[in-house]
Structure 1
């Protein structure tokens, strides 16, 4: 791997309409978790029941998430692999002992800039190999990508760059990052099918956010060039699992601003995704959102596969 180097964004990343005030950022109590049903009888179109559960979540600060009941959620979800984004801490600050006690192994990647970006993967069964970044120095300094190779597929978790206040980074995001990351995924897909998850920082269609008209080409995450970047990725041989299964489902969001009781009103955005290689379609059982799980301004999203 080349030496990681920051790409020069001095400010913290901004999600759509995100406020500094952490209104409604309460954690998840044991009682609330106990009331949630994490089981599923989902199966493929041919009737094969799922045997792998993948979960992805932008935790908006992993240490804060753990203080809000994050470990209890991880235990109760019982995912085979849980991927997280926006850890906002160095790898040394991750309480790996707590995760080990819960029966998981973890691998984290932080960026060069403290308190910025960062991704992690928490798993039960050891991958064949784990790779950090996409081997392009101008991108890898921000700690955005981890790839885990398993026997029959690659799992990639990503925290895609936000275009920033005033769309200051939209050219970097759409003309550089999106292009290079798409090529990285295509090269992986030539070897084994790919499962991609993470905060893609884009609402792909108008159905994927509450207020498309007022946000179009004004707010990070709903600009034409950002949306086209995801369209191009899908056209290269990938499927948006949620929209494949639920093409017309409205008001299905994974992010809510901390402003104006947005979560309670369900004024949200679908920014978190599971994409899969086309040839994995017959292995797909379900794609879902855990909207009742709190502790972040995002909720977990999940994928059930028969692999």
Structure 2
């Protein structure tokens, strides 16, 4: 079973840059797309579905909130839109497909990079407060999920790097969201206390394994990279990981695709 996770910063422009042509070469079973920035119905209306795949997408009240979706070659048993978090569900930040032996979810956390103190709405919340609220709600979902017998893969752009080796030296010097102490501590709890598995780090311990080079941080030109894209596993499928890599040669957005292979039979 091959699973691809990618933040596209707008699905339509990614397709124009050759996303579907690249996807044909990947032979992926499930493709999780974050930050599609359009209405879900437009994806079918504009034929933004690669041949051989079914498409399931959720959008936010505002296109700029991002939205997430799943392309799959296999019909799921069920689709879950949202996870009963009022904020996240209004913004289209979660969708889950249940297959026979595993569930695959696509997740997009709010970004506060470069706008930490910007106001959000009329509640005196800042962009960083908004992100922190989402992470708290998602953390509660993960606590419940990790107690279940069913196995899960969460393809998530969490907008946060975990360890020093997951962010270039420039982030070590910035007081910027994505690498703040309390954000990294949230990941400590997710992995060390809850027992969630960072699939990529199970097989690759090297430094400078980045998935995103934000334009705000002058990105690729200065290698100001950061690893904020994950495939998160329930512990029961830790040993199914076969291979995984970040396709740094592919550029549909300021993110690179994360590709993981698992010894899991997805079909019925």
Q: How does 1:1-307 map to 2 (within 5 A)?
A: 52-95=1-44, 98=47, 100=49, 102-164=51-113, 165-167=115-117, 168-174=126-132, 176-189=133-146, 190-211=148-169, 212-215=171-174, 218-234=175-191, 235-247=193-205, 249-258=206-215, 262-307=219-264
Stretch of structure 1 that moved more, 187-196 or 273-282:
187-196
For structure 2, the 5+ residue unaligned runs are 118-125
Q: What's 1:28 paired with? A: none
CA distance in 2, matches of 1:291, 1:151: 32
CA distance in 2, matches of 1:304, 1:166: 36
TM-score under structure 2 length normalisation: 0.87
How far does residue 101 in structure 1 lie from its aligned partner after superposition?
Answer: 5.6
Q: Alpha-carbon deviations, 1:193-252, whole Å to 9, x = none? A: 11111211001111111123212xx111011111111111112121112222222x1211
Tell me: higher relative CO, structure 1 or 2? Use CA pairs within 8 A at least 6 residues apart: 1
The RMSD of aligned alpha carbons is 1.9
CA distance in 1, matches of 2:241, 2:110: 28
Moved over 6 A (4+): none
Aligned residues: 252
For structure 1, the 5+ residue unaligned runs are 1-51
Distance 1:306 1:267, change over 3 A: same
How far does residue 306 in structure 1 lie from its aligned partner after superposition?
Answer: 0.1
CA distance in 2, matches of 1:63, 1:101: 12
How far does residue 106 in structure 1 lie from its aligned partner after superposition?
Answer: 0.5
